Amino acid sequence: MVMSPAGLRNKNDFAGKDQQLLPQISYSVYLLGLMVTVVTGSTDGIGKAYALELARRGVNVVLISRTQKKLDEVAAEIESKFPVKTKTIAADFSKGRPVFDIIEQELKDIPVGILVNNVGRQYTYPMYLGEVPEHELWDILNINIGATTMMTRLILPQMQKQKRGAIVNVSSGSELQPLPLMTVYAASKVFVKSFSDALRYEYQRDGIIIQHLSPLFVNTKMNAFSHRLQQTSLFVPDATTYARNAINTLGKANTTTGYWAHGLQYFLTMIPPVWIRTYIGGLMNEIFRRDYFKTMPKE
């Protein structure tokens, strides 16, 4: 399916039922929404919520995730709720380079205005490096680093030609310090921050927005290893609340947690020196690790 801006809401439509929320989008970002947004990892958690929120605001979306059935379900949900078009692309980023040839072909002739590099892989539960299965480590590298890098490289030429675009790289508060028991995951998120900051320098002259989004804890399946992170609260929002807040920062903040309560946590977290933050992070992961083992069936 070839998607176009036709059928999207125009600027005047912003005066409808979403009036209180929609004007918070900068007009430059609104213009990008007249094209199409590509969201990776879009069938669960933040990615799904981000896609749904964009659709609510009248943006056509391309959903990329691993499982076609789940993609179809999310696409059907979006099109049943909102007057937008969707396209789905099944791609397992853990497979590495071959998937990008497929994605490139599927995105041919689609005017992409916004790319949301959301897909990510975390440890099954907090582990010491020697305990982490090798395939899990490769998945983290291929997905968290490889997918973000190669999806960006794939979309950039089109954005350069258009002289506008936005790339949202979803990182994690795990990047704020070395994180024992999530060592490789946290290191991969440090890559995302460095990648985003350098990329912004390279492409800001082309009118391309590069946003580094760094959420702290969000109540999603990714954090299911601990019951403490499955209870929605002010500081552990659900994915819908987080996405709604995060989208409002696009075009306004280059680096952000995306959610005001996380911003407060970020400020307080950065007060102690890095060795203290690392120590506390390790202690927290020891607690989450015990939480996980408590849920496992006894032999």
**Domain-embedded: residue 246:** yes
Low-confidence ranges of the chain (pLDDT < 50): 1-2, 4-23
**Domain-embedded: residue 4:** no
Give residue 131's domain range. Answer: 11-295
Single-letter amino acid code for the residue at 95: K
* Number of separate domains in the chain: 1
* pLDDT value at residue 34: 62
How far the first Cα of the chain sits from its last, in Å, is 51
**Domain-embedded: residue 2:** no
* pLDDT value at residue 10: 33
Closest CA to 90 of 41, 18, 150, 36: 41
Q: How far apart are CA 188 and CA 171, in angstroms?
A: 9
Closest CA to 123 of 179, 79, 40: 179
Task: Write down the residue that tokens 């980023």 correspond to.
Answer: 93
Angle CA 38–201–163, to nearest 5:
50
Q: Is 210 exposed, middle or buried (0-12, 13-18, 19+ CB in 10 A)?
A: buried
Q: Could you tell me the CATH number of the domain that includes residue 189?
A: 3.40.50.720
Closest CA to 84 of 113, 106, 110, 62: 62
Q: Are strands 165-170 and 208-213 parallel, antiparallel or unpaired?
A: parallel
**Domain-embedded: residue 6:** no
**Domain-embedded: residue 224:** yes
* pLDDT value at residue 228: 86
The catalytic residue positions are 185
* pLDDT value at residue 22: 39
**Domain-embedded: residue 195:** yes
**Domain-embedded: residue 185:** yes
